Structure 1
Amino acid sequence: MIKSVTYQGQGLSLADGLALEGMAFVQLFATSDHPRQGIQAFKEKKQPDF
């Protein structure tokens, strides 16, 4: 996903690039529990369990 957004974002304006990043962020959180686990582990200063 990172590579895809990076390639798609080349040549976009700042506003369009941020919109693209925001859509990717929402899609990532909607399709996987890993981001939430990573954030929670960071808050608790623990290793994430993926």
Structure 2
Amino acid sequence: AWAAAWDARDAARDARDAARDARDAARDAEIQWQRKHLQELMGELFEGGK
């Protein structure tokens, strides 16, 4: 029974770590998208102001 409990705890920890990694990756992707979008907007503003 103890082995099953340890395995379950390890599996839960792995799942939590995987969820954290996925959340971090999603946040990084969103930041990259926002940065790219902002650069495009700034480029349009500067080009339009010439």
TM range (shorter): 0.3 to 0.5
TM-score by length of structure 1 reads 0.40
TM-score by length of structure 2 reads 0.40
Name the one with the larger helix percent. 2
Q: Which has the higher contact order (CA 8 A, sep 6+)?
A: 1
